[in-house]
Structure 1
């Protein structure tokens, strides 16, 4: 008698995911600034119609408790308060006729406003 065992593995995603397009755009922006000492900081702050808004900016600080990830040479930092809201979120850069800019697909968001700038 042969017994087959099937085992499901679940990949645990920690931190954020940065697409190649987003990483390339962020590196290009840093290059234009002439700075190589900055990291892309991704944060969540109170605000917007739905309660929370995303913030993406370049930052030279490394704060206590930051999650730091590297994406093809680009350092991405998420502060410890924002990390639970951003675990598994995918940051992309879109450049089309309708829209240009960074977008965030967040599996933790339960709702968003019509403008798409804030979430809860």
Structure 2
């Protein structure tokens, strides 16, 4: 009797489309689709998504995401086709090279931040330090 051999699944980094590496933040196609889906339910339709870093949490910083109706004067704007992402100059320092993905599992669903600037995270995973 022959036994079936299973090949382990190869896990790769999230794919980024239309985003140069010099941008402060990159969104995977999954994250872009989810943001657009949520934006479509807003009235009025927001101008874009704001991603930032704010003080707080056990480790000092945490991520913030919100919809914006207009761009701030000092914002960096990252475009993913018709989706605009606004990042203030201070947050851009902490987000440089960050990849935002949207993940759905049996246990939870949400946005996941892969940030090369992070030195440590707290036990609950909601805050970080640089």
Q: Matched residues in 2 for 1:59 and 1:37: separation?
A: 6
TM-score, length of structure 2 as denominator length: 0.79
Asked whether the 8 Å contact 1:91–1:104 carries over to 2, the reply is yes
2:35 alignment partner in structure 1: 26
CA change 1:108–1:79 in 2 (3 A) is same
1:46 aligns with 2:55: yes
In the alignment, is residue 97 of structure 1 matched against residue 118 of structure 2?
A: no
CA RMSD of aligned residues (A): 1.4
Contact map agreement 1:23 1:72 (CA 8 A) in 2? no
Please state how far the C-alpha of 1:38 moved relative to its aligned partner. Answer: 2.5
- Scaled by the length of structure 1, the TM-score of the pair is 0.85
Deviates more, 1:34-43 or 1:79-88: 34-43
Matched, 1:58 2:67: yes
Q: What is aligned with 2:9?
A: none
Q: What is the aligned length?
A: 110
Counterpart for residue 117 of structure 1: 126
Match of 2:93 in 1: 84
SS, match of residue 100 in structure 2: strand
Gaps of 5+ in 1: 1-10
